[in-house]
């Protein structure tokens, strides 16, 4: 509700009677007293206003209020219950209810009444003249209601305050007499006295607070939420949302316009979306009477039972548009059920709503979309429905999920025509129908692809490659395998890709064999991966080309620590293991390993089962260049963000576009640095500058002038771990600190030796760090893709997705639990209901 809106509360102070009827709780009131409140009014302010109007300020106190709240909606009546209000949060429930469900009738005012049984005061209250008198245009609907207890501060006490149905001056209160309940209802009334706590047995006449405030329109529809949602209302009331109630928001029904005869829509989908959205906003249900390619007819679910709502839309064939031919509205019925969901709020409607968010970021999470949809429509939604809506939105933006597989053969031909030298290997599997192979169709199996720019770029990168896989998040499952390189400026670069059915020995062998054959041709490469046994099997294949000395293997320390954490708990232990892995020397490794052994010897025994050359830096012979992880997360987030959520054809096209953009951006940066006369990459320059700051604190002694061998003594320790004195050999490019041989550029001790010998340190830097090498990585670039209309024709079988890879359509995800004889049920045991047995 807007902050400028206000309500007038009619207070009946002589006493209050809470009556129980077949329609729930009801309060009666006769003598109102007017109080003006607003959503900014606090509970204390309301109490103070009531006591001031009664002239009891300082003599009495309000213990609590009771709110007469609708809990269910029947055919033509509303049932109410009591809700206790004793805090600001509880008071917001009233304001939220008034905001979401304004009063019925022709007035644009909202009214709510609060009643209480008062004690000794007999002052009659006259309503303010500002309170309008109106006559409802339709059958009135009772307002929500309250009650409150008053306790005396000095022993005198006043009874309870009840918020009852509307009691405006000159108008019989709704819910009393023949207003809403009908004349025969009093026979079912069972009086329930709300007594004064002081012991005076007071016949409870009610003190009502009728709340009157401006509204943006007339609302004829009562609330339809359950009292079970009151706790949620307390939480959501302050922020103005009503998620989960099936309630409309403030801009919902109040500003919702009716359909007009002659109103036109571009197509049937747009027309249906409009009808469904209208039904959702109104909180009512409708049923489809007729629907085909030429007409659409819908009626209210209560058509014939008091509601005449009907809409008929037809296709105007000459113009190709849909038009409203007949409309009876608005609805004159009440919601017939309590629900936190709406039948018309299907994934088609949700898809239209989330389309802009998905278009902006295809990787937007389902949780974000779920919360946004619930806040907009005001209904609870299932994760599955929002997930299906996102898949539909993606298919409308990026193409159909099934058709995308058949686009892959043409994409292969098109990209090879665009960039000669592109490697794309597509494998399919046969489709069998009735035991016979269908020659016209083939299942997609695997696809490997890389571009000539990536092949050329890897020649100038560091001689290592990281490999890993990430799952696809679309309609069909699968895994995207990626090979990642790194240039001399520490920029990551994906150089090869593969779409496979999952991570197994065959898929990894398919990927690694083509990677070795087409991209990583250099000998002595290092492959960084996780400890997956299928990767191990593929790398150890005799004909794979990945065995030493052609290639070496190392583990990603992040995956090693993750495996370690499955057995041993505690962040300190994981930190010690990481420090030991990153140690550049054996002495430093032993230092951290001894601390780890003191924590738990079993931790060291676990680590000793893995060859040190696979996970420690001091045993890798400098092949890691300081890199200990696969960088798959950084690659996906920075370069390939969102591609896992796309159909396969859009995914492979995205790799081309993203890499083309990356090559242009990084190539310009390297070219600009070369233009300023820089010799090395920015990453190296920063590292050298940091080492130079500490190189002045050393004492250098020359031992062998011909072989450039020195000893360097630290006058002050330069780090957390220090040996004090280090041997440096510029000729062999080694230092006892381990950094020189691990990172392949001079450490702080080597820089001190270069300064002592008056030689430049640049000659001891690996060529990969030169800015010319970094520029060579991105020199080749990509060419603009040829439009799809000019791609060569494909005359092979239609490629379709393997139905076994489709995600479960309905129900709970399949369990991966290994079942034992404990899970086997007795087949002779009778089946019983889980609720009543």
- Determine which of 41-50, 173-182, 605-614, 753-762 has the lowest per-residue pLDDT on average: 173-182
Does the structure show a pLDDT above 60 at 446?
yes
14 neighbors 28 (Cβ within 8 angstroms): no
pTM of model > 0.85: no
pLDDT digit string, tens, across residues 461-484: 999 999 999 999 888 999 999 999
Question: What are the angstrom distances between the C-alpha of 415 and each of 302, 399, 423, 655, 707?
Answer: 59, 19, 9, 12, 54
pLDDT digit string, tens, across residues 84-130: 777 777 777 676 666 545 443 333 344 455 544 333 333 333 333 22
CA dihedral angle for residue 507, residue 508, residue 510, residue 516, rounded to 10 degrees: 170
pLDDT digit string, tens, across residues 343-378: 889 899 999 999 999 998 888 888 899 989 888 888
Same domain, 394 and 406: no
pLDDT-based confidence at 79, cuts 50/70/90?
low
Q: Is the residue at 533 inside a domain? A: yes
Task: Decide which of 609 and 246 is more confident.
Answer: 609
136 neighbors 102 (Cβ within 8 angstroms): no
Same domain, 428 and 575: yes
Q: What's the rounded mean pLDDT across residues 36-56?
A: 79
Structure tokens at 17: 């009677």
Last residue of a domain, one of 764, 786, 810: 764
CATH number of the domain encompassing residue 60:
3.10.20.90
pLDDT-based confidence at 720, cuts 50/70/90?
low
pLDDT-based confidence at 492, cuts 50/70/90?
very high
Same domain, 417 and 444: yes
pLDDT at 213: 38
pLDDT-based confidence at 301, cuts 50/70/90?
confident
Does the structure show a pLDDT above 90 at 422?
yes
- Determine which of 132-136, 293-297, 611-615, 782-786 has the lowest per-residue pLDDT on average: 132-136
Phi, psi angles (nearest 5°) of residue 780: -70, -50
Does the structure show a pLDDT above 80 at 704?
yes
Q: Structural domain tally of the chain?
A: 4
Range of the domain at 387: 263-398
545 neighbors 482 (Cβ within 8 angstroms): no
Q: Give percent of the chain above pLDDT 70.
A: 70
Same domain, 387 and 496: no
Q: Which residues contact 495 (CB under 8 A, 6 or more apart)?
A: 450, 454, 455, 457, 458, 461, 465, 483, 484, 485, 519
Q: Token pair 């959503």 is at which residue?
A: 39
Q: Strand 60-73 and strand 160-163: pairing?
A: parallel
pLDDT digit string, tens, across residues 186-201: 333 333 333 333 333 3
Please name the helix (run of DSSP H) or strand (run of DSSP E) that holds residue 350, with its range, or none.
helix 347-360
pLDDT-based confidence at 569, cuts 50/70/90?
confident
Q: Is the residue at 284 inside a domain? A: yes
Q: Give percent of the chain above pLDDT 90.
A: 47
Cα atoms found within 13 Å of the Cα of residue 827, Cβ hemisphere only? 0
Same domain, 346 and 426: no
Same domain, 622 and 738: no
Task: Decide which of 326 and 205 is more confident.
Answer: 326
Q: What's the rounded mean pLDDT across residues 607-630?
A: 93
Q: Is the residue at 470 inside a domain? A: yes
163 neighbors 208 (Cβ within 8 angstroms): yes
Same domain, 435 and 312: no
Q: State the Cα–Cα distance between residues 352 and 280, nearest whole angstrom.
A: 14
- Determine which of 130-144, 255-269, 719-733 has the lowest per-residue pLDDT on average: 130-144
Q: Strand 17-21 and strand 190-193: pairing?
A: antiparallel
Does the structure show a pLDDT above 80 at 294?
yes
- Determine which of 192-206, 338-352, 540-554, 778-792 has the lowest per-residue pLDDT on average: 192-206
Q: Token pair 């370069």 is at which residue?
A: 639
Q: Name the residue among 64, 66, 46, 48 with its Cα closest to residue 56.
A: 48
Structure tokens at 448: 């490997």
Mean pLDDT in the chain? 76
Last residue of a domain, one of 703, 730, 764: 764
Does the structure show a pLDDT above 70 at 206?
no
pLDDT at 311: 94
pLDDT at 338: 59
pLDDT digit string, tens, across residues 50-74: 888 777 777 777 777 777 666 544 4
Give the SS3 label for residue 722. coil
Same domain, 566 and 545: yes
Does the structure show a pLDDT above 60 at 42?
yes
Same domain, 501 and 423: yes
Q: Is the residue at 53 inside a domain? A: yes
Task: Decide which of 612 and 9 is more confident.
Answer: 612
Same domain, 288 and 378: yes
Question: What are the angstrom distances between the C-alpha of 280 and each of 180, 216, 276?
Answer: 26, 19, 6
Question: First vs last Cα of the chain: how many Å apart?
Answer: 48
Diameter of the chain by CA atoms?
A: 117
Q: Is the residue at 127 inside a domain? A: no
Same domain, 414 and 378: no
pLDDT-based confidence at 27, cuts 50/70/90?
low
pLDDT at 618: 93
Q: Is the residue at 813 inside a domain? A: no
Q: Is the residue at 731 inside a domain? A: yes
pLDDT digit string, tens, across residues 646-672: 999 999 999 999 999 999 999 999 999
442 neighbors 428 (Cβ within 8 angstroms): yes
Q: Is the residue at 494 inside a domain? A: yes
pLDDT-based confidence at 435, cuts 50/70/90?
confident
Last residue of a domain, one of 604, 632, 662: 662
Same domain, 562 and 414: yes
Question: What are the angstrom distances between the C-alpha of 290 and each of 68, 297, 312, 434, 606?
Answer: 42, 5, 9, 39, 70
- Taking residue 533's Cβ as centre, other Cβ atoms within 10 Å add up to 10
Does the structure show a pLDDT above 50 at 165?
no
pLDDT digit string, tens, across residues 553-562: 999 999 999 9
DSSP annotation string for 743-792: HSS--HHHHHHHHHHT--GGGGS-GGGBHHHHHHHTSS---PPPPGGGSP
Q: Which residues contact 320 (CB under 8 A, 6 or more apart)?
A: none
């Amino acid at each position: 509700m807007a902050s400028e809106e206000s309500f007038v509360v009619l207070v009946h102070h002589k006493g209050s009677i809470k009556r129980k009827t077949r329609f729930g709780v009801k309060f009666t009131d006769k003598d109102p007293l007017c109080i003006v409140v607003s959503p900014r009014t606090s509970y204390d302010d309301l109490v103070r206003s009531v006591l001031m109007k009664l002239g009891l300020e300082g003599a009495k106190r309000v213990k609590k209020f009771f709110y007469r709240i609708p809990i269910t909606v029947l055919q033509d009546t509303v049932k109410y219950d009591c809700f206790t209000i004793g805090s600001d949060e509880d008071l917001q429930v009233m304001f939220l209810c008034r905001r979401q469900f304004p009063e019925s009738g022709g007035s644009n005012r909202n009214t709510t009444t609060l009643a209480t049984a008062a004690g000794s005061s007999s002052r009659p209250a006259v309503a303010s003249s500002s309170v309008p008198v109106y006559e409802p245009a339709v059958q009135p609907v009772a307002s929500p209601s309250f009650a409150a207890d008053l306790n005396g501060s000095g022993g005198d006490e006043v009874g309870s305050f009840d918020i009852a149905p509307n009691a405006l001056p000159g108008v019989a209160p709704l819910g009393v007499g023949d207003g809403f309940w009908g004349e025969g209802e009093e026979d079912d009334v069972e009086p329930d006295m709300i007594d004064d706590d002081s012991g005076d047995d007071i016949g409870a006449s009610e003190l009502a607070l009728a709340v009157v405030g401006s509204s943006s329109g007339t609302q004829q529809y009562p609330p339809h939420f359950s009292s079970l949602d009151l706790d949620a209302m307390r939480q959501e009331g302050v922020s103005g949302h009503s998620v989960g109630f099936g309630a409309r928001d403030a801009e919902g029904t109040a500003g919702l316009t009716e359909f007009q005869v002659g109103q036109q829509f571009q197509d049937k989908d747009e027309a249906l979306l409009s009808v469904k959205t209208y039904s959702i906003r109104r909180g009512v249900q409708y049923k489809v009477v007729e629907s085909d390619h030429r007409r659409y007819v819908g009626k209210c679910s209560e058509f014939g039972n008091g509601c005449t709502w009907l809409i008929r839309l037809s296709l105007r064939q000459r113009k190709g548009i849909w038009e409203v031919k007949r409309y009876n509205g608005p609805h004159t019925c009440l919601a017939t059920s309590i629900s936190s969901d709406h039948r018309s709020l299907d994934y088609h409607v949700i898809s239209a709503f989330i389309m802009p968010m998905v278009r902006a970021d295809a990787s937007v999470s389902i949780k974000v979309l779920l919360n946004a949809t619930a806040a907009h429509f005001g209904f609870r939604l299932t994760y599955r429905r929002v997930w299906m809506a996102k898949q539909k939105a993606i298919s409308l933006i990026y193409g159909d999920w099934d058709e995308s597989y058949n686009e892959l053969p043409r994409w292969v031909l098109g990209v090879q025509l665009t960039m000669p030298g592109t490697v794309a290997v597509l494998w399919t599997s046969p489709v069998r129908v009735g035991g016979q192979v269908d020659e016209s169709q083939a299942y997609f199996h695997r696809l490997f692809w890389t571009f000539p720019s990536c092949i050329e770029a890897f020649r100038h990168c560091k001689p290592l490659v990281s490999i890993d896989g990430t799952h696809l998040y679309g309609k069909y499952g699968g895994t995207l395998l990626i090979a990642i390189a790194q240039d001399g400026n520490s920029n990551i670069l994906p150089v090869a890709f593969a779409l496979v059915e999952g991570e197994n020995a065959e898929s990894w062998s398919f990927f690694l064999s083509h990677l070795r054959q087409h991209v990583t041709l250099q000998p002595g490469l290092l492959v960084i991966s996780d400890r997956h046994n299928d990767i191990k099997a593929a790398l150890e294949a005799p004909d794979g080309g990945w065995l030493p000395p052609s290639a070496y293997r190392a583990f990603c320390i992040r995956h090693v620590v993750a495996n370690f954490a499955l057995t041993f708990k505690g962040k300190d232990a994981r930190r010690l293991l990481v420090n030991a892995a990153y140690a550049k020397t054996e002495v430093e490794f032993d230092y951290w390993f001894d601390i780890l052994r003191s924590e738990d010897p079993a931790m060291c025994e676990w680590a000793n089962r893995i060859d040190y050359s696979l996970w420690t830096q001091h045993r890798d012979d400098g092949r890691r260049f300081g890199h200990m992880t696969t960088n798959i997360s950084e690659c996906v987030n920075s370069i390939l963000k969102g591609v896992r959520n796309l159909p396969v054809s859009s995914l492979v096209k995205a790799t081309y576009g993203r890499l083309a953009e990356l090559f242009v951006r990084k190539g310009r940066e390297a070219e600009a640095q070369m233009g300023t006369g820089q010799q090395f990459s920015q990453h190296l320059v920063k590292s050298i500058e940091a080492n130079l700051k500490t190189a002045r604190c050393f004492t250098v002694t020359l031992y062998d002038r011909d072989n450039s061998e020195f000893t360097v003594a630290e006058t002050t320790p330069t780090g957390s771990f220090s040996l004090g004195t280090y041997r440096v050999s510029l000729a062999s490019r080694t230092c006892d600190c381990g950094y020189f041989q691990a990172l392949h550029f001079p450490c702080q001790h080597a820089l001190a030796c270069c300064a002592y010998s008056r030689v430049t340190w640049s000659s001891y830097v690996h060529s990969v760090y030169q800015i010319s090498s970094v520029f060579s990585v991105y020199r080749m670039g990509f060419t603009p893709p040829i439009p799809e209309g000019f791609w060569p024709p494909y005359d092979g079988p239609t490629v379709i997705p393997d139905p076994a890879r489709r995600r479960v359509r309905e129900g709970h995800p399949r369990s991966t639990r290994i079942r034992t004889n404990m899970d086997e049920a007795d087949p002779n045991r009778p089946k019983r209901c889980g609720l009543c047995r």
